[in-house]
Amino acid sequence: MVDKLIRSEDEWRKRLTPEQYRIVRERGTEMPFSGAYVHETASGIYACVACDLPLFESTAKYDSRSGWPSFWDVAAKDHIEIHEDHSLGMVRMEATCARCGAHLGHVFSDGPRPSGVRYCINSAALQLMSKMGQGGESSAKSESS
Ligand SMILES: [Zn+2]
């Protein structure tokens, strides 16, 4: 279980940029191919832009050609909540941050194997953080000699 983080809308407005606020607090959607992370390939953890909760690993990111960052798995099951969304005359599954309630995007069932799930997420709801203290192949430095 993740402890809830409750803040007033005024506080959120101060902490977020207008675009971030529109997406995560007003359940907005950024224009396709406009987000900072659509073509991002760096490795790390995509965390909630509002509360820093880790949401997705870069290893689960793939190019869905939808225009939004897409993931086929979550970093931790209890970090993301799924709700039915009946807006726009459709029934969709909305993904929100389990800690602060930030609107992230939607979940579809046309993802790649093995999950078959596509998490279609707004860049403005995410911040990419590099993995700290995790050695191994990903941290190999190429220092010329
Ligand atoms: Zn959050």
- 136 within some domain: no
Amino acid sitting at position 64: S
Q: Which tens digit of pLDDT belongs to each residue from 85-95?
A: 998 899 999 99
CA-to-CA separations, 99 to 4, 136, 139, in angstroms, rounded: 5, 30, 30
Q: Tell me, in angstroms, the distance from the centre of ligand 1 to residue 138's CA.
A: 27
* Average of per-residue pLDDT across 60-87: 97
pTM of the model: 0.88
- 56 within some domain: yes
Q: What is the CATH number of the domain that holds 62?
A: 2.170.150.20
Q: Tell me, in angstroms, the distance from the centre of ligand 1 to residue 77's CA.
A: 14
Q: Is 120 a catalytic residue?
A: yes
Number of domains in the chain: 1
- 138 within some domain: no
The pLDDT score that the predictor gives to residue 138 is: 43
- 78 within some domain: yes
As given in the structure block, the two tokens for residue 128 are: 């990419």
Residue 57 structural domain: 9-130
- 41 within some domain: yes
Q: Tell me, in angstroms, the distance from the centre of ligand 1 to residue 37's CA.
A: 17
- 121 within some domain: yes
The pLDDT score that the predictor gives to residue 140 is: 43
- 3 within some domain: no
Instruction: Give the Cα separation of 138 and 13 in Å (integer).
Output: 36
